[in-house]
């Protein structure tokens, strides 16, 4: 399990990015892969990292 901070999340489009705490890299996150009602900029989150079609994604 990894931890990071929500950098950006567009609720109407259903996607955003989490900045990984350890690596500093931005990880794509889609609304279908989260277990929360909403994500806000600055929220600290735990997530699993998976390989997506265009690179790493949070699940």
Query: pLDDT tens digits, residue range 1-58?
Result: 999 999 999 999 999 999 999 999 999 999 888 887 788 999 999 998 888 787 766 6
Tokens matching residue 35: 């277990």
Q: What is the domain extent for residue 45? A: 2-58
- As a whole-number percent, the residues of the chain with pLDDT over 70 amount to 92
Residues 29/57, Cβ–Cβ less than 8 Å: yes
CATH number at residue 6: 2.40.50.140
Beta bridge partners of 28: 17, 57
Residues 45/18, Cβ–Cβ less than 8 Å: yes
- What is the domain count for the chain? 1
Looking at residue 26, what is its pLDDT? 94
pTM attached to this predicted model:
0.83
Q: Say which DSSP state 42 is in.
A: T
Alpha-carbon gap, residue 17 to 43, rounded angstroms: 11
Alpha-carbon gap, residue 50 to 59, rounded angstroms: 7
Is residue 59 over pLDDT 70? no
């Amino acid at each position: 399990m990894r931890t990071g901070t929500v950098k950006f999340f567009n609720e109407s489009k259903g996607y955003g990015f989490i900045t990984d705490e350890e690596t500093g890299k931005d990880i794509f996150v889609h609304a279908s892969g989260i277990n929360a009602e909403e994500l806000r900029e600055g929220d600290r989150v735990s997530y699993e990292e998976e390989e997506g079609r265009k690179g790493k994604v949070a699940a």
